[in-house]
Amino acid sequence: MTIEGEALLARIYIGESDTYQGRPLYDVIVRHLRERGIRGASVFRGMEGFGRSSRVHTTRILALSEDLPILIEAVDEESRLRPVLAELEPMIGGGLVTVERIEVVVYRAGG
């Protein structure tokens, strides 16, 4: 599968300690994206951040948080990505999901 030109980038912001049916939520989301054939997803662990609660989560030793920010990014054509995001919505208890239109310049396997 390939993708080039106009696509959609979804960003899903959750907490590291968020779970769904006893499993880490970020893992559930990435596996769901893969099962649905979404062309790419990555998970990033944040060093510091806050959300709707305004509580700062940080890696600094004096205020070490066990619930660091997690960002999941997924890219695919809009017609493929939007329905999958709708499936994910009930799994996300607290968080933020954004989408933006992007242009894919290169998408190919390495090696």
CATH of the domain at 50: 3.30.70.120
- Evaluate whether residue 74 is within a structural domain: yes
Instruction: Indicate whether 37 belongs to any domain.
Output: yes
Contact of 19 with 25, CB cutoff 8 Å: yes
pTM for the structure as a whole: 0.85
- 54 versus 79: the higher-pLDDT residue is 79
Span 12-40, average pLDDT: 96
Residue of 99, 56, 54, 55 lying closest to 77 (CA atoms) = 99
Domain contains 1: no
Please give the pLDDT value at position 39: 94
Please state, as a whole number, how many other Cβ atoms lie within 10 Å of the Cβ of residue 72: 21
Q: Is residue 57 part of a domain?
A: yes
85 lies in which domain range?
A: 6-101
Q: What is the CB-side half-sphere exposure of residue 35 using CA atoms within 13 A?
A: 10
